[in-house]
Chain A
Amino acid sequence: MWRDAALVAGKDLRIEARSKVALSQVAPFGVVALGLFAFALGPDRAPMVSGAPGLFWVAVLFSTVLAIQRSVSVESADGARDGLRLSGLDPAGLFLGKALAVAAQLVVLELVLTVGVVLLYGAAVKTVWLIAVACLLGTVGLAAAGTLYGALSAGIRVRETLLPFLLLPVVTPILLAGTRIWQAGLAGGTPSDATPWLHLLLAFDAVYLAVGVVVYGPIQEAT
């Protein structure tokens, strides 16, 4: 399983390194979204700083949809998905590999957006490690849930519109927990302030990783 996961993740990251879709399209989209939120909130710094955690995660969620759609579309061209099925790869390894590649791209995206939040909104990060842990756990959950729902929508002609409709409501816990932890991180809060939300993120990650490992294969065969 791990060998297959590494193989698939390596392949997807190599494709990203060549096409640079995440770097040249997804990340700029996230920055543009942050900029638009800043315009909507007006010139006052206070509402921007207080809204920064939520706006960061909304921008991450929207960008995640694009990253997942790209991950799915890579397998849609030239019957590549059939090629993967025919190769006899372990479906669990395939799921973990696809999710790992998406997660790697999201980490870069979140770094870019964090810098954007600091520069555009004037937010000061006081507890860096809390912000980092929130991003890490949120990334794992988004990549796992996104890869799973991406596979569900893969065989459908209207997947571009169906995927956000399926995925965004499901990842609401990440938006909620991520925002609360970020608020604690920006305010210089203690770990105890964020503990319940960290637990929520951990539970979300565990559930979607476990479900993905179990059902990704049957979903692939059925779609």
Chain B
Amino acid sequence: MAPAAPPTPALSLRDVVALSGRFPLLAGVDLEVGTGEVVLVEGPNGAGKTSLLRVAAGLVPVTSGRLTVLGLDPERYRTAVRRRVGMLAHASHLYDDLNVRENVRFAVRAAGADPGRIGPACERLGLTGRLLRTSAAKLSAGQRRRVALAVLVARAPDLWLLDEPHAGLDASARTLLDELIGEAVATGATVVVASHEPELLEPLADRSVTVSGGRVTGERSIRSPVADVPVPVRAVGSAAPASGPPVERVGSAEPAAGPPEGVGSAAPAAGPPEGVGSAEPAAGPPVERVAHVA
């Protein structure tokens, strides 16, 4: 009997380069996220965390490298992929002239999700009574965030991409968000979350990856006893295959080309000290990624 094929990762980036004009947003990212996994993306301002999520959502095209989302090529199957991916971004994607209920209803129906989930989702996020009839223009930043979360919950996507999800939320909403993430994972969803406040998300995460200068520069396991590992980083535009040996600048503090703010900063990335920021090249073959399935 043939051995079972390995499960398709929910998100796979192989040497992915993404540009904004000539400005590098991602400079050769390798990342694999297993189905049902919660991965925390850490890094300083301008490191490429948001860009990583936007590329995964298909909002920024891949210039080179290979990206698959839920086992599909997002360029080729754009609509199918986007309907299964939900993103909580810095912006709430709300229309100021529509009220809360109308905003949620439009977003959910546009995504082809079940409108029957709108009511329970709004209720869960505390969007009830008069608040439902309040125009989005009159909402506070935290309330707008709640509406965006309600859309996400009602859509129930297979892949959740959360960018600084705790920003603007009060303590109770933060707790609720953590519960929602846990529930989403329990139903088989995958979560990739970028945050400046890793301590808030570590209890939920299986793994943490550090992004700096548009590259993944380190990763560590949170829920398993496997030791933290530095990630071999290839030069931008390297033709070396993803599975090949590390080429150079492992954990280098050398600034990446381009971004004036944060990206390419010589400052060490936030997060795990091991490996990241070290000038010492990694010895031997690339370390196999730790992938957990919750």
A and B associate: yes
Interface residues of A (CB under 8 A from B): 4, 7-8, 11, 14-15, 18-19, 74, 77-80, 82-90, 221
**Residues of A with C-beta under 8 A to B58:** 85
**Distance between Cα atoms of A8 and B61 in the complex (Å):** 25
- Contact partners of A74 in chain B: CB under 8 A: 95, 97
> Do A82 and B112 have beta carbons less than 8 Å apart?
no
B91 touches A87 (CB 8 A): no
> Within the assembled complex, what's the spacing in Å between the Cα atoms of A93 and B89?
24
In the complex, A176 Cα to B86 Cα: how many Å? Answer: 47
CA distance A83 to B136 in the complex (A): 15
Closest 4 CB pairs of A and B: A83-B93, A79-B91, A88-B82, A87-B110
* Nearest residue, chain A, Cβ from B102: A14
Contacts A18-B97, A86-B87, A88-B111 hold; do A78 and B82 have CB atoms under 8 A apart? no
B92 touches A79 (CB 8 A): yes
Residues of the A chain whose Cβ atoms lie less than 8 Å from the Cβ of B83: 87-88
Q: Is the CB of A15 within 8 A of B98?
A: yes
Number of interface residues of B (CB under 8 A): 33
Residue B135 is within 8 A (CB to CB) of chain A in the complex: yes
Known A-B contacts A7-B109, A86-B57; the reply to A80 vs B94 at CB < 8 A is yes
Taking the closest CB of chain A, its distance from the CB of B62, in whole angstroms, is: 12
- What's the Cα separation between A179 and B85 when bound, in Å? 49
Most chain B beta-carbon contacts within 10 A, residue among A18, A78, A90:
A78
Known: A79-B90, A83-B91. 18 other contacts (CB 8 A): A7-B110, A11-B106, A14-B97, A77-B96, A78-B93, A78-B95, A79-B91, A82-B93, A83-B107, A85-B58, A85-B82, A86-B111, A87-B107, A88-B78, A88-B82, A88-B83, A88-B111, A88-B112
Give bound CA distance, A86 to B56, whole Å. 11
- Assembly CA distance A19 to B78 (angstroms): 33
Max chain A C-beta neighbours (<10 A), residue from B61, B107, B144? B107
**Cβ < 8 Å to A, chain B residues 143-202:** 144
List residues of chain A with CB within 8 A of the CB of B110.
Answer: 4, 7-8, 84, 87-89
B96 / chain A contacts, CB cutoff of 8 Å: 77-78
In the bound complex, CA of A19 to CA of B107 (Å): 20
Chain A residue nearest to B87 in the complex (CB): A86
Once bound together, how far apart are the Cα atoms of A91 and B83, in whole Å? 13
Residues on B facing A (Cβ under 8 Å) = 57-59, 61, 78-83, 85-87, 89-98, 102, 106-107, 109-112, 135-136, 144
Residue ID in chain B nearest A79 by CB atoms:
B91
Q: In the assembled complex, how far is the CB of residue B44 from the closest CB belonging to chain A, in whole angstroms? A: 23
Please, could you name 28 A-B residue pairs with CB atoms under 8 Å apart, sorted by A? Answer: A7-B110, A11-B95, A14-B97, A14-B98, A15-B95, A15-B97, A18-B98, A18-B135, A74-B97, A77-B95, A77-B96, A78-B91, A78-B95, A78-B96, A79-B90, A82-B91, A83-B91, A83-B107, A84-B110, A86-B85, A87-B82, A87-B110, A87-B111, A88-B81, A88-B82, A88-B111, A89-B79, A89-B110
Give A89 to B92 CA distance when docked, in angstroms: 18
Cβ-defined contact, A90 with B79, below 8 A: yes
Across the interface, which residues of B come within 8 angstroms of A15, CB to CB?
95, 97-98
How distant is A196 from chain B, measured CB to nearest CB, in Å?
41
Q: Which residues from chain B contact A87 at a C-beta distance below 8 Å?
A: 82-83, 107, 110-111
CA distance A80 to B93 in the complex (A): 4
CB neighbours (8 Å) of A7 from chain B are 106, 109-110
Give the distance in Å from the alpha carbon of A85 to the alpha carbon of B166 in the complex: 24
With A7-B106, A85-B59, A86-B85 in contact, is A78–B92 under 8 Å at CB? yes
CB nearest to A90 among chain B residues? B79
* B86, B94, B97, B98: residue with the most chain A Cβ atoms closer than 10 Å: B97
CB contact between A80 and one of B79, B80, B87, B95 (< 8 Å): that residue: B95
